[in-house]
């Protein structure tokens, strides 16, 4: 039996593995858009793992905090510093250096500022007839820079296509806060079931809105598993069942039920592994959590490597892109993300002191 109350867990390792899976999947997307392995959608499943873990841990985090303001402040400090630096780095440093446009044309481009503010504000700025679609899926939140990666050596012209999931994550945080304030976390299973029955009864496509919906569902599954942690049994027999279920259903024809069953099985497998006692894996994050930096920087680094390397050396592309991405993740963690976490800890101490004063 796996102990879900254990202080030592493997979440840091799983996050790192998920970020690496996203990087690996994007290697094929960006190097050869028509590569057969793209059909597996490895990067998509890596993102689902992120959302499953986030749903579990964020629900736990909300329920243990003093008040919702502390929770929101901590979420902002975890998400926003790394995101802002990535967007600023791409827009004002890398973009001007490699754009095919003149600096005047680059900085006077309306598209540049629309994309920039969309990424910073985490919402599509250009409000039009597809407003509600953008509100749900944030299909417009990715960084595309004028004259950057627009040559024939790149399958996609997007500077950073990984950012589109960040608004989805933030909206999930908002849903947890709203349900918590309304005392509605306990009815989350009912809301989730109603939503699934509605959504899975419709034809599932492969556009941004569908991807977003399944990310929301992944987050909800993680949250549900946390709320039901005292009743769900994590043991070897159930693990074998869910491994077999995932293995069989994964290759079935694509439809809503198939994806749902895969996500339920994946949630169990990921959380079973998260609380498995593995001494070396359990201490994986003692030097830092580099997964967010890998996720943020991998795509632009891969695009830059395609600009520098020959198109006929895929192994070299993979090795170089991962090494540079990891270095960027190290810098992001030690100079940006870790200092922000100190602010997070100080805010918790400050709120504790104020609450104690009020109690007196």
Instruction: Give per-residue pLDDT as tens, 297-346.
Output: 999 999 999 988 877 788 899 999 999 999 999 999 999 999 998 887 55
pLDDT: which is higher, 204 or 278: 278
Instruction: Give Cα 203 to chain centroid, integer Å.
Output: 25
Residue closest to 16 by CA, chosen among 286, 313, 289, 272: 289
Residue 127 scores a pLDDT above 60: no
pLDDT of residue 8: 78
Separation in Å, CA 16 to CA 126, 147, 310: 34, 32, 28
pLDDT of residue 135: 43
DSSP string, 120-151: HHTS--S-STTHHHHHHH-TT-SB--TTSS-S
pLDDT: which is higher, 72 or 5: 72
The number of C-alpha atoms within 13 Å of 56 and in the hemisphere containing its C-beta is 22
In a domain, 294, yes or no: yes
Torsion, Cα of 346, 347, 348, 350 (10° steps): 90
Lowest mean pLDDT among 204-208, 243-247, 274-278: 204-208
Instruction: Give Cα 235 to chain centroid, integer Å.
Output: 28
Q: What percent of the chain has pLDDT over 70?
A: 80
In a domain, 158, yes or no: yes
In a domain, 303, yes or no: yes
pLDDT: which is higher, 83 or 259: 83
Residue 145 scores a pLDDT above 80: yes
* Bridge partners, 295 (sequence order): none
Q: What pTM does this model have?
A: 0.88
Mean pLDDT of the chain: 84
In a domain, 2, yes or no: no
Q: Give Cβ neighbours of residue 255 (< 8 Å, ≥ 6 apart).
A: 204
Q: What percent of the chain has pLDDT over 90?
A: 53
In a domain, 4, yes or no: no
Helix (H, G, I), strand (E, B) or coil at 159: coil
Distance CA(198)–CA(181), nearest Å, equals: 26
pLDDT band at 7 (very low <50, low <70, confident <90, very high): low
Within 10 Å of residue 59's Cβ, how many Cβ atoms? 25
In a domain, 1, yes or no: no
Distance CA(11)–CA(57), nearest Å, equals: 9
Structural domain count, the chain: 1
In a domain, 5, yes or no: no
In a domain, 3, yes or no: no
Residue numbers of the domain that contains 301 = 11-359
Instruction: Give Cα 17 to chain centroid, integer Å.
Output: 12
């Amino acid at each position: 039996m796996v102990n879900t109350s254990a202080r030592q867990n493997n979440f840091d390792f799983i996050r790192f593995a998920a970020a690496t899976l996203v990087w690996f999947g994007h290697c094929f997307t960006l190097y050869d858009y028509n590569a057969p392995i793209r059909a597996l959608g490895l990067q998509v499943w890596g993102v689902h793992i992120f959302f499953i873990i986030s749903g579990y841990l964020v629900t736990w985090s909300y329920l243990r905090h003093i008040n919702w303001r502390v929770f929101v402040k901590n979420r902002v400090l975890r998400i926003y510093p790394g995101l802002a630096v990535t967007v600023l780095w791409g827009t004002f440093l890398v973009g001007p250096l490699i754009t095919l446009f003149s600096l005047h044309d680059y900085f006077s481009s309306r598209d540049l500022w629309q994309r920039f503010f969309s990424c910073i504000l985490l919402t599509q700025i250009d409000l039009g007839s597809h407003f509600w679609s953008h509100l749900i899926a944030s299909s417009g939140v990715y960084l595309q820079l004028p004259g950057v990666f627009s040559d024939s050596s790149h399958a996609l012209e997007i500077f950073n296509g990984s950012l589109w999931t960040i608004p989805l994550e933030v909206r999930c945080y908002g849903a947890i806060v709203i349900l918590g304030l309304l005392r509605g976390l306990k009815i989350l299973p009912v809301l989730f079931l109603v939503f699934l029955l509605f959504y899975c009864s419709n034809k599932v496509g492969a556009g941004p809105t569908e991807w977003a919906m399944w990310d929301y569902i992944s987050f909800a599954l993680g949250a549900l598993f946390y709320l039901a942690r005292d009743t769900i049994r994590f043991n070897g027999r159930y693990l074998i069942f869910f491994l077999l279920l995932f293995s069989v259903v994964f290759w079935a024809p694509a439809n809503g039920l198939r994806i749902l069953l895969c996500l339920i099985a994946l949630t169990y497998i990921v959380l079973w592994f998260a609380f498995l006692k593995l001494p070396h894996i359990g201490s994986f994050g003692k030097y830092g959590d580099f997964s967010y930096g890998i996720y943020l920087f991998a795509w632009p680094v891969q695009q830059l490597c395609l600009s520098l390397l020959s198109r006929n050396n895929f192994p070299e592309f993979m090795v170089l892109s991962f090494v540079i991405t990891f270095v960027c993740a190290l810098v992001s963690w030690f100079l940006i993300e870790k200092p922000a976490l100190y602010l997070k800890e100080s805010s918790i101490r400050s709120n504790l002191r104020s609450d104690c004063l009020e109690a007196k």
